[in-house]
Amino acid sequence: MNINTIVVYSSEITDAVNHLNCGSITYDIKSFYMKNFNGDEKLQTIEYKVNNNTELTQQDIMTLSFIPLMRSKKSKSEITLESIEIAKNIQDNDDKNNCLMLLYALFDKFGDDVSKKQFKEVVSITEVGKMIYEEGLEKGIEKGTAEILIKQLIKKFKIVPEEYKESIRALPQDVLEVIGTEIFDINSIDELKKYF
């Protein structure tokens, strides 16, 4: 059985080791250099398609998502922001969200602070932005519920072991709500084990 490893290198990498000889084991890597692609040209082509409501192929979506790694006369932050602006105008919501999520992941790694602020402003009005916001809001509510529940248990039982606190913090919202409803019927701190 052969295992193939393909490594995608951003435009700054021009050459890399493709063969490792470790005695009885040799390891071959197939390198894929993004420097071989002109990101400015690719961006212009996809921008034309998006502006003219031409249906994008999956290849177009992948290309737009990876433009920040390609060779460009612009900075990574600048070309990523331009890619995001174009992706915002993609008609198909699934394609738009998939592209924006990949761009977000790349931008988080390569963007500078000023550009990240601009990016947050752009993304906040998209479906991806709403999804990220709602997920954060949900986590915040869950964390707040867990902390209030821990305080109520401390008030009732005086002491709550640290491992119980950690277990409570890891519980999903629906289980936290059940404990909150049943807290007055719990007679011993050990009764909490049934929820973990």
Residue 98 has pLDDT above 90, yes or no: no
What is the pLDDT, as a whole number, of residue 134?
Answer: 65
Q: Please state, in angstroms and rounded to a whole number, the distance separating the CA atoms of residues 99 and 122.
A: 14
What is the pLDDT, as a whole number, of residue 125?
Answer: 54
For the stretch 122-160, pLDDT in tens is 665 555 556 665 666 567 667 778 888 888 888 888 889
What's phi and psi for 120, nearest 5 deg? -60, -40
Q: For residues 185-190, give the mean pLDDT.
A: 86
For the stretch 18-40, pLDDT in tens is 888 888 888 888 888 889 999 99
What is the pLDDT, as a whole number, of residue 188?
Answer: 87
Residue 4 has pLDDT above 80, yes or no: no
What is the pLDDT, as a whole number, of residue 103?
Answer: 81
Q: For residues 3-14, give the mean pLDDT.
A: 81
Torsional sign, CA 176, 177, 179, 180: positive
For the stretch 45-83, pLDDT in tens is 999 999 999 989 989 988 998 898 899 999 888 888 899
Q: Please state, in angstroms and rounded to a whole number, the distance separating the CA atoms of residues 39 and 94.
A: 23
What is the pLDDT, as a whole number, of residue 42?
Answer: 96
What is the pLDDT, as a whole number, of residue 80?
Answer: 84
What is the pLDDT, as a whole number, of residue 43?
Answer: 96
What is the pLDDT, as a whole number, of residue 63?
Answer: 92
Cα dihedral: 34, 39, 42, 47 (round 10): 140
Q: For residues 93-121, give the mean pLDDT.
A: 75
